[in-house]
A and B are shown apart, each in its own frame.
Chain A
Amino acid sequence: MAAASQPPTGASQQLAQLFKARDIALADPTMYSQVIPVMVAVLLGQPPSPKPSQIVKVWGADFLAETFSSTMLGADVKQAFAISALPVFMDFLTLPENVQKTPVELTSMTKSIIQAVASVYPLVFRHIIRNPNDTETWRLMSAIKSNVLRRMDTELPGVRICCLRFVERIVQTQTPGVIADPRRPDQNEISLSLVPPDHPLIPPPNLEAEAQGLLDRALGILQEHHSDALLVTAVINGLGGLVRLRATIANRIITAILNFNPFRLTSSPMNTANKLMIKSMEKTTSIFLANLLKWAPQHPLAVRIEQHIIRLQQMRKDILDGTLKRPAVDEPTDGLDNAKRQRLGADLPSMPPAPLGQPQLPPGPISYAQLYTITNDPANQPFDVHVIPPELAARTLVHLLKFNISPDQLGHAINTVRSRFLSLTSRPTVVPAAGLPTPAPEVDDDDDDYEPDYQPTEDAEQLKNRLEIDAPEDAKLMKQVQSQGTVAAFRLPRAPPMTNEQIDMIALATIDRMFYTLNTLQASQEASERKRGFNEPIVRGAIDKNAYFRMIVRIAVRPLAGLETADQYRTAEGQINNETDIPIGDIVRQKLLQYILSDWNRRIGNAVTWFTEEWLTEEAVWKEYTKTLNTTNGNGGDVKPSPPPRHYQKWVLRFLEDLSVYLGGMKQDMKILIRFISELPALDREILGRVAGLAQDPERTTIVSNSLRYLVQYRPPAKELALDALQEIWKADKLPDGPNAKLLKSLRPKFMEEALEVIPKVETV
């Protein structure tokens, strides 16, 4: 201001005045409205200001970048000034004649100006949406835009990152976003969605196409300049907002990041700078992906992202920490090493045929497998050829025989088997045990070359039965069996009784399967709408995810209800050695807990279902128990039955404790917390104490207080308990005029009077 009224003589004097003006505006943002016009005039050298010196221009560029990114100024105010500042941007960005690239001495200023342009672009865009006839402004903005975009590939990296940020800003502005509230256009984020389809200056299809092209250029950096950590990290770190706010392009961004390999630099010499850059790029990529997972854990690419993060970490460990680093190979790696896969078409040194193994055949009957086995390697001997599919085996065999096996070797192998066969046939025939049929060697069955070598433990009768089942078409065998005429009624041997461990294992497997089915149901019915009333699937007898979930809950809660005692749980908890020692109900409960927490945002209704069932059953069991207690008392002398265990409170507390890891302080978290504690069938001091404990994280103080105040208002039976809990929370911060304080003042006036009296005393000590 002073700068304009009294033109200064020297640049330093002018700078001092500008600094003062900035300080005034920083201290009082309303002063910007006076400072900015003056600043624009000074920077454009409009009379009475002199032509700005280079130092003043650099300072001015910084000031504009700071001002247009300031959070203290409203978007509308900034928008108005942005239009007036466009000529300054254009002036500063215009290079002297015959200069193609920003000289080093101008980099600092250019960087600041491009930052300011990036901040201003959405604002000018919104101005144009509202003023479709302001051709002049849009022309100027377009000229600035193309000036900056031209610099993107040629400038120094420091300037290029600012250009890239500008590109990301353009992409964010020129792609469709979400209109949060159509009634309040001022609150909406600036995006293509706000542009009417028939806008004369900025037709949406053209702009979106431009945005897509620019996004490709920005993402291309990850592939083309993978060695420049500055560019790469700048691009990745700038994509954080874009990937969340623009669903239409999020997948492209994620795919590009997943395809980016930060370790390509490893091909260049591993000096300190390269190591550092690799590590930095890898960490930046990992954090970006982890951030994405935190934001959208249900994203379709989530699994891939998770795997990618793990792979990146592993690779960093291997490459940089050198744990698995292999030393350089000593022998020539020209593909001629016989131990390696061989290069096709290379002249291989001739190799003597490998000696064939000729394991001695054991005395007695032998199988075809033994007959044909010509290797001494015990690892290869039991290999079962059935695992290779016939078509694959056929192709491989032809190839092997044609190219890899020398005729000598083949002939040698054939001769070996032939001589074995001859020696076998010359052996005296072994008489098979009574009733034990010998597999007929004449039948040339493909399966015959595999004969497991075991002694059957079944009796002859059972064996015959099995033969009947296994080979009903084998006419010869059938005849043999029929001729003996001894087919008797088949008796299945009685299975031995199952051990407790087996039963537990099967039970565990069944539980796992139930949850698997639940997940399948969940996935298949995700999209379908929830029907209520008589159309509800459970009423119609159909199974849907909710009905199935309730069934699992009842399996956890009901079967043992009334049979188990609290003592059993005490001993069980005291001496749990392995999973099977835990009562089966608790295993299911644990799984329920995991199931709900794995998507707690959407499954909080399931938690309520569970705890309602739990409470209902517990009430019923205790009612029964009190009744028995009364009758035993009447009889006198009887031993009092042990009380049944209390599950409800224990598991609600546990759930709250586990939830506290995930719960944040946002509005949706509050909705979930309120719903949960207001729908729980029973609240007691401990549960509410645990809820109040959630407020220990200052982020959650507001949502916990809101939930408790909700209870005070809408759940009269829990009112006093909730007030107690609220008191505890209030004691932590003792804000004298917050909503908690107001409520407590009206409902607990005595407590508040005492508490507020104490506070000043503490301060004076």
Chain B
Amino acid sequence: MESHLQLASAGYPVISFGTGSLVRLPGPSVKEPNIFNFNRTSYDQMYNELFQKDPRLYRANGILPMLDRNRNVKWGPERWQDWKVGVPRMTEQQKHNRGAEGTEGGVVDIVITCEERCWDSVVDDLLNRGSPMNRPVHVFNVDIKDNHEDALVGGRAILDLAGKLNEAAVQEREKSGAEMWDSGGASRTGFDERVPYILADWQERWPHLPAIWTLAWF
């Protein structure tokens, strides 16, 4: 969600998902997590519920501030496996999410996960779907430890990656303009083939966040 916020603030269209079966937040002990359903519970409901349970505990462990941030970013957590790719995102609830502008078509060009097992789930799920849309999607993983500090750093790194990818995509697009028809162009390569090299450059700048990538299909 930190990355969602940072990407949306930078003006990129963003949708964010979880890949587990339930939303699990730390509870009073390791064995008693707070469990919520995906797609049906809003961050606001979660915030209120935990606030009523034990405001001191959940403020101290950072859960309440996190939920507060999240409820200002989007309505509630969505689950990747339940996402119907290509179904327009035009409801009022979806339009109010940060970074909703540009996601109306219900598809994305890039998927970034923050944990290797999430990347595995996403690639596996896309295989299960059988690529009905024939639309390529670059799936990245950037390994970020799940805590507040690393999330901030990781968010910046993801923003950097998105920036470089976007730059390459814009270059490819701009060549399509009529005014570019006759120009030879310095780099005669398209966007997709540059992706692994862009990621490799990025990896050299962020060596502590091991990355991985594949080209999958929606």
Contacts and interface: CB of A to CB of B under 8 A. Distances in A.
Given A54-B176, A698-B37, A291 B124 contact: yes
A703 interface: no
A122 B200 CA distance: 38
A161 B204 contact: no
Contacts of A294: 124
A104 B37 contact: no
A279 B141 CA distance: 12
B136 A161 contact: yes
Contacts of B87: 71-72
A26 B131 contact: no
Given A158-B192, A161-B215, A237 B123 contact: yes
B151 to A, nearest CB: 23
Contacts of A108: 172-173, 175-176, 190-191
Contact of A233 (B38, B134, B181, B215): B215
Given A69-B135, A277-B196, A230 B215 contact: yes
Contact of A241 (B40, B130, B200): B130
Given A104-B190, A238-B217, A280-B196, A66 B131 contact: no
B21 A698 contact: yes
Contact of B177 (A55, A166, A233, A291): A55
Contact of B196 (A70, A71, A230): A230
Contact of A161 (B40, B192, B199): B192
B216 interface: yes
Interface stretch (B11-19, B64-72, B206-214): B206-214
Interface string A215-258: 00000000000000110011001101100110000000000000
Nearest to A172: B130
Given A156-B193, A276-B199, A698-B21, A284 B123 contact: yes
B171 to A, nearest CB: 9
Contacts of A702: none
Nearest to B107: A66
Contacts of A58: 173, 176
A55 B38 CA distance: 40
B57 interface: no
A169 interface: yes
B193 A157 contact: yes
A118 B134 contact: yes
B131 A165 contact: yes
Contacts of A65: 134-135
B127 A240 contact: yes
Contacts of A11: 178
B185 A104 contact: yes
Nearest to B136: A161
B30 interface: no
Nearest to B171: A104
Contacts of B203: 272, 276
Contacts of A699: 21
Contact of B133 (A119, A159, A276, A696): A119
B162 interface: no
Interface residues of A, number: 62
B19 to A, nearest CB: 13
Interface in B150-204: 172-173, 175-178, 180-181, 185, 188-193, 195-197, 199-201, 203-204
Contacts of B120: 283, 287
B132 interface: yes
Interface string A159-186: 1011001100100000000000000000
B133 A244 contact: no
Interface in A95-127: 104-109, 111, 115, 118-119
B169 to A, nearest CB: 9
Contacts of A279: 212
Nearest to A63: B105
B63 interface: no
A27 interface: yes
Given A230-B192, A272-B203, A698-B22, A241 B131 contact: yes
B26 interface: no
A188 B197 CA distance: 42
Given A27-B90, A229-B196, A245 B190 contact: no
Interface string B29-53: 0000000011010000000000000
A169 B217 CA distance: 12
B136 A162 contact: yes
Contact of B88 (A72, A230, A698): A72
A697 interface: yes
A234 B131 CA distance: 11
B196 A72 contact: no
A699 B38 CA distance: 11
Contacts of A245: 130
Contact of A288 (B127, B180, B185, B212): B127
Interface in A41-94: 53-55, 58, 65-66, 69-72
A280 B181 CA distance: 35
Contacts of B115: none
A686 interface: no
Given A104-B188, A291-B124, A165 B217 contact: yes
A333 interface: no
A651 B96 CA distance: 51
A376 to B, nearest CB: 53
Interface string A572-594: 00000000000000000000000
Contacts of A244: 130
Given A105-B175, A276-B203, A26 B196 contact: no
A23 interface: yes
A283 B212 contact: yes
A290 interface: yes
Given A105-B175, A105-B180, A66 B90 contact: no
Contacts of B135: 65, 69, 115
A238 B123 CA distance: 11
A271 B200 contact: yes
Nearest to A701: B37
A159 B195 CA distance: 14
A273 interface: yes
B62 interface: no
A158 B193 contact: yes
Given A237-B217, A280-B214, A287-B120, A72 B86 contact: yes
A165 B136 contact: yes
B33 to A, nearest CB: 12
B21 A697 contact: yes
Interface string B110-139: 000000000110011011111111111000
B2 interface: no
B84 interface: yes
B3 to A, nearest CB: 20
A48 to B, nearest CB: 21
Given A105-B185, A240-B126, A26 B104 contact: yes
24 contacts: A26-B90, A66-B105, A69-B86, A105-B180, A107-B176, A108-B176, A115-B134, A115-B135, A119-B134, A156-B189, A157-B193, A161-B215, A162-B134, A165-B217, A166-B134, A230-B192, A233-B215, A237-B126, A240-B127, A271-B200, A280-B212, A283-B123, A733-B37, A733-B40
Given A66-B107, A108-B176, A237-B131, 9 more contacts: A55-B177, A71-B133, A105-B175, A109-B176, A165-B134, A240-B128, A283-B214, A698-B21, A698-B38
Listed from nearest, the 7 A-B pairs whose CB atoms lie closest are A241-B130, A240-B127, A158-B192, A273-B200, A158-B190, A69-B133, A54-B178
